[in-house]
Structures are given as structure tokens and as C-alpha cells.
Structure 1
Amino acid sequence: MSTTAPSPLLSDSLRGLGLEARTLFFALNYEFTKIEPKGIFKRFKKNQGAIDIDLACVLYDENCTMTDIVWFKKLRDKAESIKHQGDSLNGKDRGEQAMYLAPLDQEQIRLYLERVPAHISHIALIANSYHSHPFSRVKKGEIHLSDDEGNRCFEVNLKQLPRDCTTLWVAHLRREVDDWHLTLQNLPLPAEDLASAAQEVAHELARVLPIPQGV
């Protein structure tokens, strides 16, 4: 699948990217965007609403088997190494301090890398539009990754994603001997929800990564 990547291709160790801290923030900010239903759906008030974007971090072992997922349905992994700070349903429901261009992120997942269990080799960072509205329909918005010192590794402009993109494999963290290696993926997925996206990423990882010795 092709994508018009909003950021330059990025793949390096966290240390090489200037992220020295051991805590990362996978975060989302976007301007409240109301979606008006069209045609027959105008009759049903329940179909009216706003764009709702969700984030997830998915954990895989060395065989690319999913072992855990942190998202709005499960706010932390078993080891409490990854913690979701709470779901935003429309980009403005968490108050003025957590709106677009405000001091706080509307939705944020914190990754405490030193706590990630040793059997976890890969972490996928994924975004999904809950009601299947394309990301590009937001008025303004971005997904970014930073450390706890404020250093930003990348920003993904939602307006620059493909017009039909509703689920995005944003980035991939791969464990190395003494660090984590980050690759910015920006890969649209056909999945309609985060659980399906997690499985699609597992298949993609298994396809492109070498099989561990002894397996």
C-alpha cells in the first residue's frame, strides 16, 4: 500500500534520534470537527457527531505474536509499562487545557521503555478513526512522538494523509541490545478498528522481519 507520508522517512535508534529519556509520549491533537450526515442518514440523530480518533500501542514478541494491546478499552498493559491517559471522543471533551494547540494532549499514551517486559520485541503505534471518517477531514490535527524532556521525534499531519485513510500504522519500535529502534511507518491499513489493525500489523511484521534462530 502506498502513502503520501507527511514526514520524511525516519528510521534510527532512539539515541540516534536524540531521544535520551526512557519515557515516550505517543500523542494526538486535533481540532473538533463536526460531521454532518448526508442523505437518508440525516433522519437519524444518532448518526450525527464528530470525528473521533483513537490511539493504541500493541506489544508483540520476537515471533511477531501479539501479547497485549493498550487502547481505550484497556488503559495499561499487564506490566504497567505502557499507560493510556484516557479516551477523547471528539477532540474537545477533555476541557480547554486539552484541545488543539492547548498545553495538554487530547489523547496520550505513555511508554515507560525500561519497564517493558524482556519478551516484548516490537511495539506498534496505531491510530484509528472510530466512526471511519477519514483523518484528512479534520480541520487541523497531528499525531506526534516525544520524550519527557520535550524532544519531538516526528509529527504526522492528519490533513496530509491519503483522503480515504481511516486507520494508520504510525510507527514501529523494535528492541535492540542496548536501545530501541524507531521506524516511522505512515502505512494506511484496511482495518476498520484497532483490534483488526493490530492483527494486520502482526502479519506485516512477520512478513518483513527475519525469523529468529531456533524457531
Structure 2
Amino acid sequence: MGLTLRKGDALTLTKKDGSSLTRIHMGLGWDAAEQKRGFLASLLSGGKPQEIDLDASAILYTSDRRVQDIVYYGQLKSRDFSITHTGDNLTGEGDGDDEVLLVDLNRVDDSVKHIVFVITSYSRQTFDQIENAFCRVVDDALPSKPEVARFDLTEQGRFTAMIMASLSRNGQGWKFTAIGKPANGKVAHDIAAEAATVL
């Protein structure tokens, strides 16, 4: 079990021997909140829980906070091939990670100083319809793929996006920061300027 972080906490991504992590995956997940519905609404839905289609993305920034690249459901790989999105989850169903971004930290272009991970709602479903949102860092270089750090989001509200966390260069390695800042936008491009303000 990894270290549980709270909003604003930061962690340098190192192994037990002090060397830097090289390959990680950022897993993001969420569930539909329990909705109190009337008899007719329950009948029409067939008793099924509401489907929540959120999109996880990674925004890559230069040192002066300019957007260098965005990895999302419409572009599944960064131009430097350091980040791969494993695919879009259209419902939010199932346990564990709903969407995953694989990150090879050694391949991130030298001009990239920050990577911000965000969740957006293309269908404009708001975060008061969502619960148990989280992001977690997993060490993919080890066969056991241990969880390094986890950030569980407790905030809900009438916003359509969340700036979840960031990775920033820290000497020869990287630092992970739990952010949890609400925003509004359908896709990552919509909130890229606002996400830059957290760096």
C-alpha cells in the first residue's frame, strides 16, 4: 500500500534505495454517486446506476508554463512517446483504475518541466454526481507494480473538471503533488491555462 496524500502534499518519486523512479502509471478512478430517484426514474433506468463518462488527460508544460503537449482520448500518445493513454472508459464502472496513463519518466522531453493530470466531463456531468475519485502512482518498473502514492478526492460540487495532481522535475528526479483543484471544461484543452496556475 502506498503513501496516502492529502490535498497539497508532495512526494519525491524515489525507490527504497534512493534512486529515482523511471516508469510509472498514473491511475485515475471514480464512481457514480448514489442518486435518490423516484419510482418512475428507477423504472426507466432499469435499476441500473448512472453511467459517468469522465476523461483523464495529461498536460505537459515547459518551464515558463506553456503547453507543450496534451495526452487525452483523442491523442493517446505524447509526441515524445513518453506518455501513453491506455483508452477511454465511457461508464466509470468497475473497481480500480478507470483510466490509466503510462509514463516513462526517462523519455520525457527535456523541455517539459511539469505534467499535470486532470479529469474532465465531456458530457458536462458535474462532480456532485461523482464520488470516490482518486489518482494513484504505481511503480511500473517492478514486476509487483506496487502503489507508491494515492490521493483520494473528497470534494464534490457543480464543476465539470478537476485538476488532480502534477509531476514536476526535481533535480534529476520528479516530485508528485496532490492538487485537487476544481475547474470547468469539457476537455483538457479547456482548462490548460487554469491548470498552469497550480505550478
Q: TM class, shorter-chain normalised?
A: 0.7 to 0.9
Is the CA contact 1:100–1:141 (under 8 Å) kept in the aligned structure 2?
A: no
Matches within 5 A, 1:75-154: 75-92=76-93, 99-101=94-96, 105-138=97-130, 140-148=132-140, 149-154=145-150
RMSD: 2.9
* Cα deviation code 1:47-80 (max 9, x no counterpart): xx62111111111111111010000010001111
Give me the TM-score of the superposition, normalised by structure 1: 0.71
- Determine the C-alpha separation between the residues in 1 that align with 2:73 and 2:21: 25
* Cα deviation code 1:67-115 (max 9, x no counterpart): 10000010001111000000011123xxxxxx224xxx32100111000
* Cα deviation code 1:2-48 (max 9, x no counterpart): xxxx82531232128989531121112334669899xxxxxxxxxxx
Change (3 A) 1:147 1:136: farther
SS of the residue corresponding to residue 74 of structure 1 reads: coil
Q: Which residue of 2 aligns with 1:156?
A: 152
Q: Which residue of 2 aligns with 1:30?
A: 30
SS of the residue corresponding to residue 154 of structure 1 reads: strand
Give me the TM-score of the superposition, normalised by structure 2: 0.77
Q: Which residue of 2 aligns with 1:51?
A: 52
- Determine the C-alpha separation between the residues in 2 that align with 1:91 and 1:107: 9
Q: CA deviation at 1:162?
A: 2.9
Structure 1 gaps, min length 5: 1-5, 38-48, 93-98, 210-215
Letter paired with 2:151: E
Structure 2 gaps, min length 5: 38-49
Q: Which residue of 1 aligns with 2:11?
A: 12
Structure richer in helix, relative to its length: 1
Letter paired with 1:60: Y
Q: CA deviation at 1:122?
A: 1.0
Q: Which residue of 2 aligns with 1:212?
A: none
- Determine the C-alpha separation between the residues in 2 that align with 1:73 and 1:10: 31
Matches within 5 A, 1:156-175: 156-157=152-153, 160-175=154-169
- Determine the C-alpha separation between the residues in 2 that align with 1:22 and 1:120: 16
Letter paired with 1:78: R
Paired residue total: 179
SS of the residue corresponding to residue 162 of structure 1 reads: coil
Is the CA contact 2:78–2:84 (under 8 Å) kept in the aligned structure 1?
A: yes
Change (3 A) 1:62 1:199: same
- Determine the C-alpha separation between the residues in 2 that align with 1:165 and 1:152: 29
**1:195 and 2:189 equivalent?**
yes
Is the CA contact 1:33–1:90 (under 8 Å) kept in the aligned structure 2?
A: no
Change (3 A) 1:169 1:16: farther
- Determine the C-alpha separation between the residues in 2 that align with 1:123 and 1:130: 21
Q: Which residue of 2 aligns with 1:46?
A: none
What fraction of aligned residue pairs are identical, expressed as a percent?
Answer: 24
Change (3 A) 1:9 1:139: closer
- Determine the C-alpha separation between the residues in 1 that align with 2:184 and 2:19: 31
